[in-house]
Chains A and B, each alone.
Chain A
Amino acid sequence: MAEPKATESLPKLPLATLIAACALAVVSHAQWLPLWVSAAAGALLLWRSVIAIGVGALPSRWVLVALTLALTVGVFLSYRTILGRDPGVTLLVMLLFLKLLETRVLRDTFVAAFLVYFVALANFFYSQSIPIAGLMLATVTVATAALVGFSAPRRSLVDNFNTAGRMLVQAGPVMLLLFILFPRVQGPLWGLPQDAYLGMTGLSDTMSPGAISALSLSDAIAFRVRFETATPPRGQLYWRGPVMTDFDGTTWRVGLPQLRREMRVDVSGPPIDYEVTLEPHNRNWMFALEMPTRLPPSARLTSDYLAISLTPIRTRIRYEMSSSPQFQARSGATPDDLAAALRLPAGVNPRARELAREWRATLPDDPAIVRRAIEFFRGNGFEYTLQPPPLGRNSVDEFLFGTKQGFCEHFASSFVFLMRAAGVPARVVTGYQGGDTNPVDGYMVVRQADAHAWAEVWLQDGGWTRVDPTAAVIPVRVELGLTAAAPAGMPLLMRNGFSWLRSLRNNWDALTNRWNQWVLGYSPERQLEVLSRLGMKQPSWESMTLILFWSVGGVLLLVAAWLLRGMRREDAVQRAWLRFCEKLARAGLERAKTEGPLDYAGRAAHRFPASEAAVRAITEIYVDQRYGPGSDAASLDRLKHLVREFAP
């Protein structure tokens, strides 16, 4: 079992293939690696390629040790740690290239190829999109072709890729079965490093001017919705997110979330049933249409009608909900709650306070004040823009009486300030408004660009009532969406008027959605769902393993049959003859190694006189068929029959 010693330099073509695989595995990491790491990786790759074409020699061990130390220190300086996900991935990339630089013998190429597989896997920490999946499939193919090349150095590159491709195609069914049937465990198995969930976008638990308008420029998808019942009109599509009660003059913050056993929502009219597929955003809240009446089992409703999950949402999740657009929300209105909904920071925005006092003095009741405020916003030439001028300390005064240019958070914030100053309990609600239905698959897509902020006021008759001052100023924002309201400054694809681009994007989104639902979203729950749809009544991990075992075995048999189809077996005549010899041998008459059929038959006939006729007949047919000019099926059948009946 000794390894053939590979002191000679590695074959060039497979080595070049391996280097290409390394480059492919790392190229998409460049998006998230620090710039200097990408540069260093590129330099090392170039260096190794130059050595591979015969210029210069591989670096000595000391150079490699020095390089390793330098790069590790570099990683530490970049991240201030070498533990955690991102430094780990960076070190893995480094390791791959350093290994490539010390790849001298066959054994090293295996280590390098396996590292390529690891680095390919590490890509999925950051993105599991279809393009990345395709890139990694290409990476695996190239790395496999390199392995094939090393085991048969004289073959051509095309042949190696051919073999690698064929093997991957044959591995496909095994992969599919394992993917569907391998008993899934919900991770994580242990605590994940702190930085595992960086870079997720979404609403925050604070709102300062500019926060939502920044989010509005993002094309990223917040969640997708499939309506079981009819899609409600756009004006009802208020997806409720964090509710902000505390205001310090510039920034709104959520109050302490409180879970109460009994949440009162009085609803009328039929409920809307829908399923939400929420992208991970590393926060607890789940988005529901106002007002949610039925929640998924893992969710709870806070006192301000926010559906929250018990753990931060770090993977894409799917849940079903029901909501009623006609509602009266009366919870969350204890004296403490109402007092909090009236609290204002002292000493800021004197003009707004003055205006509010005037409304309180002249108007009869709270609804009238609300109406008056809406009229105020509608009549004073306010402008809706994604790039409002910056505001100072008295932000509400400056906006209301000065700049008059703002985004939804300015309108909502000023409106709530006015209400509180006038003595009407009010709060800011953030969330998403609207959503586009993809005509390709019927899913509604809600993007970060649909982020919105509106207000809620407490009215004695109606409970917490939604008031959207933005809609008052720019009705088109709610009726047609942000793109229509503020076209300038939006990303190209989000503007109207590029219909073919939009249809392209719709198709792509639908494909991505299917990918998300069926590939990325294949959770333990979905696995159970699929298996019970396939007819497994009570899928347990034992039965799944058993089915997995048999189905993979069956697939492998098929693959083996396919692979061995080009085999030429010993012909049937020879097989029959060998069986005959075997029978004689068991009866005690073994054929000598060099004995011809006729001699052997002579001995057999002598030894077993009773079966002499059969021996003669068999031998005659055998010799005739094997050494004669032609063969025919009838004789073969007769031979087989005679051998079967033969019993010395």
Chain B
Amino acid sequence: MASEAKLSHTAALILQAIQSGSIYGFSIMELTGLPSGTVYPAMRRLESEDLIRSEWEKEPEPGTKKGPARKYYKLTAQGRATLQASRKRYPLLERLIPSREAKHV
């Protein structure tokens, strides 16, 4: 069962960051304080385990000031279940990075 998979604190932190709405690599770095050399390899790993899924943004219209399209990440159903299981193991996770639901409460 994927939800029973043991995640490192770093991986759980990244999942929690994505859950909280930081969907780009750099925004995850900013939110977690982890360096790029940790975040990106961890995300590739999570993606290969089907815990997150990546997609490309639509290319911006020519002439707009927006930069190039970026890759963003989303939790899969399996990722959400694993994160839920991880929260039991890391009770401070939600305090460190409140999820979107918690923010709106």
Binding between chains A and B: no
Residues of A within 8 A of B (CB): none
Which residues of B line the A interface, CB within 8 A?
A: none
